[in-house]
Amino acid sequence: MKKKTGVLILIIILAAAAVFLLWKFVFSKKGEETASEETVFVTTVAELSGQGGAVGAVNRFGGVAEPVETWSVNQNPDTTVKEIYVSVGDEVMAGDPLFIYDTEKYKSEQEQAEIDLERLNNEKDTIIQTIEQLYADQKKAKASEQADYTVRIKESELQQKQKELEIKSKEISIQKLIDNQENAVVTSEIDGVIKSINNGTSASSGSTDEGFITVMKTDQLQIKGTINEQNISQIMVGAPLLVHSRTDESQIWKGTINKINTENAVSGQNSLFGSSDNDSSSYYFYVTLEDSTGMMLGQHVYMESDLGQADAVDDGTIRIPSYYITSDKGGTFVWADDGSGKLTKKDVTVGLEDEESMMTEIADGLTAEDALAFPDESLKEGMPTAAAG
């Protein structure tokens, strides 16, 4: 009897141990599944609807305002500049003097050239007289001497033509010297600001302009932006952009990409706003502005694709990107934060959809403070959430 009792107790103990081990295994498995769940990033409805300054996940690109047009004048390498009348940063009008050449050299060269021209004319006159005399003597010469006179006349006529060429060249040189003196003062051809002076001593800092003096127009500006090679596929020539002031979000200009310079990489510069990738190259792109009023030369800005967010009327209606809305047999819903850091399905009632902007009205079910996740097949209710950076 005691033996049977002992066996029974052993069976009970083993059974209890098995239950405990099974419970521990299941609990541990659930803990591992919970721990392995990835965090889901969510964005507020306000941001998605454009009330936060952008529609959805719109990339931003840095840029700087620069003149649309510049004009440069090169210095005559054979002439010395006597005086420069302007400095970098000065405003000039078309016709304003920029600098003057030293004309003393031209005066002395002109005097010498005129003396040379007089000598050449005298030499030509002498040759002409010689030819006339040869013709006269030929008429009186014997038949046996005619051939010799013909040769001498031809040689003299060649000398005359050569001398006439020398005279013409000298006259051109003299006229050029005269023009250089009359045009010693070089003036600006456009209204603008002196951008650089490359005279070896007073060139603007860091200037890469090839002209002696460069003037830039300031009445119309464009944006020179930079874009990383990893994001260059996100822009294209002709695409509309919104240009924002970095200091005042409410200050917005509209523009269109007119050029993307993919031939010359800008090494070591990052174009994506906020990017810190130092291993990839960037490229310049240029944006023509509809109106640059209020923008300052050299002003730093950031740009984003124009999806109509600047023209959207804030009438209190909630609109979110259509691709955030999911429908199944259970109805229409969005994936949202439940307010405690967990993901949940949130039922919504939708209104009209704008196919051009791909935005859909939410008639009921959401507020501007709700935070939504981008729909994905891997999403499950209860997954942890975090605000998208």
The pLDDT > 90 percentage for the chain reads 45
Q: Is residue 109's pLDDT more than 80?
A: yes
258 three-class SS: strand
pTM of the model: 0.44
* Residues paired with 223 in a beta bridge: 65, 287
Of the candidates 372, 369, 362, 380, the residue with the CA atom closest to the CA atom of residue 336: 372
Q: State the virtual CA torsion across 111, 117, 121, 123 in degrees, nearest 10.
A: 100
Query: Which DSSP helix (H) or strand (E) runs through 118?
Result: helix 104-140
Q: Is residue 337's pLDDT more than 70?
A: yes
| C-beta of residue 306 within 8 angstroms of C-beta of residue 242 | yes
Terminal-residue alpha carbon distance, the chain = 73
Compute the mean pLDDT over every residue in the chain, rounded to the nearest whole number.
82
Q: CATH assignment of 70-102+185-214?
A: 2.40.50.100
Tens of pLDDT, residue by residue over 42-66, are 888 887 776 544 444 557 788 999 8
Q: How many residues does the chain have?
A: 389
* Dihedral over Cα of 365, 370, 372, 378: its sign: negative
8 vs 337, higher pLDDT: 337
Quote the DSSP letter at residue 320. E
Q: Hey, how many other C-beta atoms are within 10 angstroms of the C-beta on 219? A: 11
Tens of pLDDT, residue by residue over 77-106, are 878 899 999 999 899 999 999 999 988 888
CATH class, 40-55+313-387 region: mainly beta
Q: Hey, how many other C-beta atoms are within 10 angstroms of the C-beta on 334? A: 22
The pLDDT assigned to 335 comes to 94
2-11, 313-322, 346-355 — most confident range: 346-355
CA–CA distance from 59 to each of 234, 303, 311 (Å)? 9, 8, 19
Of the candidates 373, 379, 384, the residue with the CA atom closest to the CA atom of residue 42: 373
- pLDDT category, 145, cuts 50, 70, 90? very high
| C-beta of residue 227 within 8 angstroms of C-beta of residue 60 | no
How do the domains of the chain map onto residue ranges? Answer: 40-55+313-387, 60-68+220-305, 70-102+185-214, 110-171
The pLDDT assigned to 51 comes to 54
Q: Is residue 159's pLDDT more than 90?
A: yes
Q: What is the DSSP string of 69-114?
A: -EEEEPPPTTS-EEEE---TT-EE-TT-EEEEE--HHHHHHHHHHH
Q: Is residue 382's pLDDT more than 50?
A: yes
Name the CATH topology of 60-68+220-305. Answer: Elongation Factor Tu (Ef-tu); domain 3 (2.40.30)
Q: Is residue 203's pLDDT more than 80?
A: no
Q: Is residue 304's pLDDT more than 90?
A: no
The pLDDT assigned to 36 comes to 42
